[in-house]
Structure 1
Amino acid sequence: MLYAILCYNDENAVSTWTKEEDDACMARLGEVQDGLRSVGKLGPVVRLQNTTEAKTLRKANGEHVVFDGPFAETKEQFLGFYVADVDTIDEAVDFAKKLSVANPGPGAYEIRPLRIYLPSALPDTVAV
């Protein structure tokens, strides 16, 4: 089963890291990713750009309204995600725990099962 592991953190804190701090964090995360990648169970890994670069499209009274940034009142922002092809949610939670150890600071990881709507777009190796 495919699970999304959604990464949340304070982008203001993360964006103040030096290049060396960011590179070190990405190296630690890479080591965790290698575990699932080596057994062919890691799908896309995406790091989103800051919310200052984003737009939000909402419908209001049947009309489209575009806002700058994500329109959310929160201290943490959605920063990226992993797709893991694991057998149980417990496996996905274990992977998220390892990611949280590799990533400094508080933050959060949301683990959600995925429902595939376009299976023809997936590689043959992914179980749906």
Structure 2
Amino acid sequence: MKVLLTFYGEELTGLDSSPEQIAQTFEGWGAFDAATRAAGVLIACEGLETGDMATTIRVGAGDRHVTDGPFMETKEQLGGFALLEVRDLDEAMAWAARTPWNGDGQITEIRPVMDYEQYAARLQGTGLEGATP
């Protein structure tokens, strides 16, 4: 099964981190990358730019509305992701626990990538059989 690990926490700019802390963080992510590659489960793992670099687009009634970030009025921001191919949720949780993203206030969400055949099977008998995501 494919799972997306998304990493949420207080947005960090690096300005409040020492060079040693930054090096330790990069080493931790390097170790996670190496371990997931060696295990053959890594599809992609990337950090994301800060929220002030984001852009949203909303389309409705033929109009396109573009807004530059930041958008959320919360300290928790999406900081990165890892896309993995694992056996089950237990394996996904084990990998999530190995990331360096496990400090105070940091959250890792594990979300399965949709399996369209399973989705269609769940719709059987609901009256939504022809619906597709």
TM-score, normalising length from structure 1? 0.77
Residue 124 of structure 2: aligned partner = none
- CA distance in structure 1 between the aligned counterparts of 2:12 and 2:32, rounded to whole angstroms: 24
Instruction: Please say which structure displays the higher CA radius of gyration.
Output: 2
Structure 1, unaligned runs of 5 or more: 118-128
Residue 99 of structure 1: aligned partner = 99
Residue 62 of structure 2: aligned partner = 62
* CA gap 1:107/1:15 in 2 versus in 1, 3 angstroms: farther
Aligned residues: 116
Query: In terms of mean alpha carbon deviation, does 46-55 or 17-26 score higher?
Result: 17-26
Identity fraction in percent: 31
The structural deviation recorded for 1:70 is: 4.6
Query: In terms of mean alpha carbon deviation, does 84-93 or 61-70 score higher?
Result: 61-70
The structural deviation recorded for 1:15 is: 5.1
- CA distance in structure 1 between the aligned counterparts of 2:86 and 2:3, rounded to whole angstroms: 7
The structural deviation recorded for 1:114 is: 1.1
Structure 2, unaligned runs of 5 or more: 117-133
- CA distance in structure 2 between the aligned counterparts of 1:5 and 1:11, rounded to whole angstroms: 17
Residue 114 of structure 1: aligned partner = 113
Residue 3 of structure 2: aligned partner = 3
| Partner SS, residue 115 of structure 1 | coil
| C-alpha RMSD over aligned residues | 2.3
Residue 122 of structure 2: aligned partner = none
